[in-house]
Amino acid sequence: MAAMSDPGCIPRNVHVSQVSRNYQVPQEYYNIVSLPSTNTDLPIKMKYCRTCRIWRPPRSSHCSTCNSCIMVHDHHCVWINNCVGRRNYRYFITFLVAATVTCILLIANCGTYLHRDSRGSHGTPVSVLLIVWGSLSMCYPATLLGYHIAMTGTQQTTREYLATIGSKNPVMHRIRPNDSNIFDTHGFLRNMGMLMAQARGPQLVDPTEMHEPGDWRFIQLP
C-alpha cells in the first residue's frame, strides 16, 4: 500500500493564466501568498508551482522524481519507489513498524532456538547467521521509524524540517519544534495523531483511470 497507493498527487494546470501568451507565468505568481490563520503572527503561506501550473495547497511540495505536486509531501522514498504524502503516510509508518517487528521476532525466535538447543545441532550456524542478519537489517527501519516518530511529534514533514535547518541532510541535526509552524498543536501525541492518522482525503488523480489524449491534467505546458 505504501508503494502502490496514491500519495496525494494534485492535478496539473488548474490555475493557468495568459494562455494567449504561450502560457507565460505572470510576475505576481512568483510571490508567496500569505493566507490568514487563527494566529495572526503565523500566516499560512502558499506558493505557485511553475511546473504543474497550480497554486499548491498548504504543506504541499513538488517532487522532482515523480514530476508532480504531492499533498502534505514528506519525501520521495527510493526503497518503495513512491512519494510519501498525505494519502499513504500511515501505510509507510506501518511498513516501518512491520519491518522492525519482523526483525525483532526473527532475532527472538533464533535466540530461543539456540537457548533450547543445548546439543548444538546442524541448525545452530543458520540461527546465528539469521540473528546477525536480523540485527543488521533492523538498524535502518528502526532508525527511520524513530526519526519519523520524533518528526511527527513536532508536527513537521521532512521537507519542512530540511527547509528549517537549511540543509538537505538531516543527519547530525537535532529535531526541534519549529516556532513558526502554524500547524503545531504543542502536544506530542496530538501532533503524531494529526500526521499519522490524518484523513486520507479524496483521490484527485487516479493512475488507473482512462483519460483522453490532450487531458490538461497530464500535460506539461511550455
How would you class 188 by CB atoms within 10 Å of its CB: exposed for 0-12, middle for 13-18, buried for 19 or more? middle
What are the tens digits of pLDDT across the range 24-82? 888 888 889 888 887 777 888 899 999 999 999 999 999 999 999 999 999 999 989 99
Rounded to 5 degrees, what are φ and ψ at 144? -65, -35
Residue 25 C-alpha cell reads as: 507565468
| Domain assignment of residue 47, yes or no | yes
In the set 77, 83, 103, 110, the catalytic residue is 77
Read off the amino acid at residue 89: Y
The DSSP 8-state label assigned to residue 170 in this structure reads -
d(CA 191, CA 178): 13
Residue range 84-98, pLDDT digits in tens:
999 999 999 999 999
Q: According to the model, what pLDDT value does residue 176 have?
A: 87
DSSP H/E element including 93? helix 89-116
- Taking the C-alpha atoms of residue 221 and residue 202, their distance in angstroms, rounded to an integer, is 25
Catalytic (active site) residue 110: no
The reply to whether 211 falls in a domain is: no
Whole-number Å distance between alpha carbons of 170 and 184: 20
- What is the pLDDT, as a whole number, of residue 47? 93
pLDDT of residue 163: 87
As for how many domains the chain has, the answer is 1
pLDDT digits (tens, 9 = 90+) for 124-135: 888 899 999 999
Q: Is 55 helix (H, G, I), strand (E, B) or coil?
A: strand
Per residue in 194-218, pLDDT (tens digit) is 888 888 888 888 877 888 888 888 7
Determine the pLDDT at residue 123: 66
User: Quick check: is 137 in a domain?
Assistant: yes
Q: Is residue 214 part of a domain?
A: no
Query: Does any domain span residue 217?
Result: no
Domain that holds residue 133: 19-203
Most confident of the ranges 17-21, 36-40, 143-147: 143-147
- If 0-12 CB within 10 Å is exposed, 13-18 middle and 19+ buried, where does residue 210 land? exposed
**Full-model pTM:** 0.86
Cα separation, 144 vs 152, whole angstroms: 12
Q: What are phi and psi of 53, to 5 degrees?
A: 60, 50
For residue 30, tell me if it sits in a domain: yes
Whether 182 is in a domain gets the answer yes
The answer to the question of residue 10 being in a domain is: no
